[in-house]
Structure 1
Amino acid sequence: MWVCTSLCRIRAVAGPRHWLSLASGHRGPAASSYSASADPSQVRALVYGHHGDPAKVVELKNLELAAVGGSDVRVKMLAAPINPADINMIQGNYGFLPKLPAVGGNEGVGQVVSAGSHVTGVKPGDWVVLAEPGLGTWRTEAVFSEKVLVSVPSDLPLQSAATLTVNPCTAYRMLMDFEQLHPGDSVIQNASNSGVGQAVIQIAAALGLRTINVVRDRPDIQKLTERLKNLGAEHVITEEELRKPEMKNIFKTIPQPRLALNCVGGKSSTELLRQLAPGGTLVTYGGMAKQPVTASVSLLIFKDVRLRGFWLSQWKKDHSAEQFKELILTLCSFIQRGQLTAPTCSEVPLQDYQRALEASMKPFVSSKQILTMC
């Protein structure tokens, strides 16, 4: 394990902010301020002190674990994924950015080690996930406020628990909040092999909805198609096939979708709009192509399509902690019934984080990188 050369402390607290301070009590200007200590309370963490290329600015550091206060919980992190939003945060290109220096990672699953005297909702041994972003999950242990933790069943598959609070939550809310869909209705989406895309396929199938799933063409397209259909996808088509006139043949057997989910933007989102039923809604939750969503005047006037956006962090701000816990428990029930599995994952030990970061930024990689802390 790589070790650095000066002492500092870390603590995660309630809310989207956490603080990192040097032994003198002053906030350090960059991750280079960190160092090793012989203190047995030290933990390992992936820290970045400034924004930039994750492969260059993220470093494995030794940090001192804060003491557990009355409302605090000491958590041993078990596993934490690398999501696109994590990468964007490190690059400085996201709607919310934690104060620097920061520990990377917005979601993951941990096990309670100990709890303060005022803690009533969790106990040692419980599995917990985080209810707020920006608290830093890419580390071996942390001290969190009880109010940012949600208990989950400890019999969940590790990968499912580690990837529970971002992609499945986004998928479920988009399916439920924008159109009143009924069994037999259809949904169309792009980036269908993404973590959200795979969750949409499975949750939609559990709800009796039919999905049209758009992916980029690639050498292993047949293998990807089979994998998505095994998850419950009814149709899997490429971006090129989406633009062909033959696309209309699909709607001889299923209704035109009233809901389209867009994670790409650009031409892909325009094509999704063209396939929508009159009065349908396109929900944008990502912009992989880094191009704007363009809607023609004719689609807006003659089909009255609606353009909406979704950001899970904003949904959390607009809803109570109890509503988020209810959402988590709903998704846990899907998992326990075998209706929702984790996206295809590759588990990578924390010390091999460079390999995981590089893999997470490569095109056509359908496997989500999950950092394991043991």
Structure 2
Amino acid sequence: MLSLRNGIISARWICAKQLVYSEYGDPTKVLKLQTIELPDKPPAGHVHVKWLAAPINPADLNTLQGVYPIKPPLPAVAGNEGYGRVEQVGEGVTAVRVGDHVLPAKAGQGIWRTDGHHKENEVFPIDNELPQEASATLQVNPPTAYRMLKDFVDLKPGDTIIQNGANSAVGKAVIQICRLRGIHSVNIVRKRDNLSDLVKELKELGADEVITEEQLAKEYRGKIKDVRLALNCVGGKSTLFLAATLGFRGCMIPTGPLIFKDIRLAGYWMSRWYEQPGNTEERKRMYAELGGWIKSEEFRTPSFEKRRLEEHAAAIEAAAVQFDKKQLFVMSE
């Protein structure tokens, strides 16, 4: 925006904060808080987004370490997931309007910032009525669970799926979606001191069975069978235990044995799905269904510890070791 001061026309600027990295390495060391001046009026075809909240996911840490497949040109603003509000639109923008809540259309755009100018096709509108935590985490874990349960096997009410790593964020989303769709879920977790508390938590989300890998290999051996879909995030010997439960032409994602039963193997990466042409309408339907469950309180979001951008070092350290609660940068309420 232009203002007139002493007869001189000048541009108006916004003071914005962002977390940037110029090299790969220890996330607590390479990440720096930076303040920049941003024109308050976006150029043609762009939108000004005030980013409101963004979680720290394992993929964010891997990106900072340089081991994630997506590598934005350096220096780069960190953060792959989050949501914001459209503050202004540039000339020619039609896909979103001022006031819309939006997600990044794909990963790697840099969301750990207070404000940013983005191309119109780099943001994706969502339901404005979703709560903050749900909006900030709508792009990665719930859609990953949703698509894995929908895109590989035509699951019907009464069918059975099995998954390991069931206490992960994706695992908890799988449990809830299965409950909502009448699908029986068998959930494998690692043996631990607080196992009874974890079993109670997962069953409250809707898990039908919660057992350890040792139980699956021994007392449950041969009792769980004709499973349609196995979700394997652990690998190793757990793969064989899951495969033993699959029925004829069952499917395991993402890894599994290559022989017997005509089992299909399918890798899955949510970021690639977002980039595939033709998924726009299906993405809208997916967000609408997930959003409906969230608003009716049938689907729970994870627990969070809210942080300011200035607390990035402590937040990164906690995200690397604290798995029962996600770290959430809150830039603006």
TM over 0.5: yes
Q: State the distance in 2 between where 1:132 and 1:318 align.
A: 10
Alpha-carbon distance, 1:40 to partner? 5.2
What does residue range 39-188 of structure 1 map to in structure 2 within 5 Å? 41-66=14-39, 67-188=41-162
The reply to whether residue 307 of structure 1 matches residue 281 of structure 2 is no
SS in 2 for 1:246: coil
Q: List alignment gaps of at least 5 residues for structure 1.
A: 1-38, 285-292
Match of 1:359 in 2: 318
SS in 1 for 2:106: coil
Match of 2:284 in 1: 325
Q: State the distance in 1 between where 2:217 and 2:27 align.
A: 35
Match of 2:7 in 1: none
Match of 1:233 in 2: 207
**What is the CA RMSD across the aligned residues, in angstroms?**
1.9
**What amino acid does structure 2 have at the position aligned with 1:355?**
A
Q: Give 1:281's match in structure 2, choosing from 251, 259, 276.
A: 251
SS in 2 for 1:258: strand
Contact 2:106/2:275 (8 A) holds in 1: no
Q: State the distance in 2 between where 1:248 and 1:338 align.
A: 36
Alpha-carbon distance, 1:219 to partner? 2.5
Distance 1:274 1:344, change over 3 A: farther
1:125-175 Cα offsets, whole Å, 9 max, x none, are: 221111111001111111111222222222211111100011111111110
Contact 2:17/2:33 (8 A) holds in 1: yes
Alpha-carbon distance, 1:101 to partner? 1.0
Using the aligned pairs only, state the percent identity: 43
Alpha-carbon distance, 1:371 to partner? 1.0
Q: State the distance in 2 between where 1:108 and 1:304 align.
A: 40
Distance 1:278 1:94, change over 3 A: same
Distance 1:370 1:269, change over 3 A: farther
What does residue range 189-204 of structure 1 map to in structure 2 within 5 Å? 189-204=163-178
Alpha-carbon distance, 1:79 to partner? 0.6
1:248-270 Cα offsets, whole Å, 9 max, x none, are: 44x3xxx6321011112222223
Runs (4+) of structure 1 exceeding 4 A deviation are: none
Alpha-carbon distance, 1:322 to partner? 3.3
**What amino acid does structure 2 have at the position aligned with 1:365?**
F
Contact 1:108/1:129 (8 A) holds in 2: yes
Q: State the distance in 1 between where 2:276 and 2:117 align.
A: 26
Alpha-carbon distance, 1:106 to partner? 0.9
Contact 2:49/2:115 (8 A) holds in 1: yes
Match of 1:208 in 2: 182
1:219-249 Cα offsets, whole Å, 9 max, x none, are: 2222222111111111112233222243444
Q: Give 1:347's match in structure 2, choosing from 303, 306, 315.
A: 306
Q: Give 2:191's match in structure 1, choosing from 217, 231, 246.
A: 217
SS in 2 for 1:192: coil
Distance 1:351 1:239, change over 3 A: farther
What does residue range 247-258 of structure 1 map to in structure 2 within 5 Å? 247-249=221-223, 251=224, 256-258=226-228
Query: TM-score if structure 2 supplies the norm length?
Result: 0.90
Alpha-carbon distance, 1:294 to partner? 5.6
The count of residues paired between Structure 1 and Structure 2 equals 319
Contact 1:178/1:281 (8 A) holds in 2: yes
Q: State the distance in 1 between where 2:108 and 2:275 align.
A: 14
**What amino acid does structure 2 have at the position aligned with 1:145?**
K
Distance 1:244 1:344, change over 3 A: farther
Q: State the distance in 1 between where 2:308 and 2:204 align.
A: 29
- Tell me which moved more, 341-350 or 73-82: 341-350
Q: State the distance in 2 between where 1:154 and 1:175 align.
A: 26
Q: State the distance in 1 between where 2:303 and 2:37 align.
A: 34
Q: List alignment gaps of at least 5 residues for structure 2.
A: 1-11
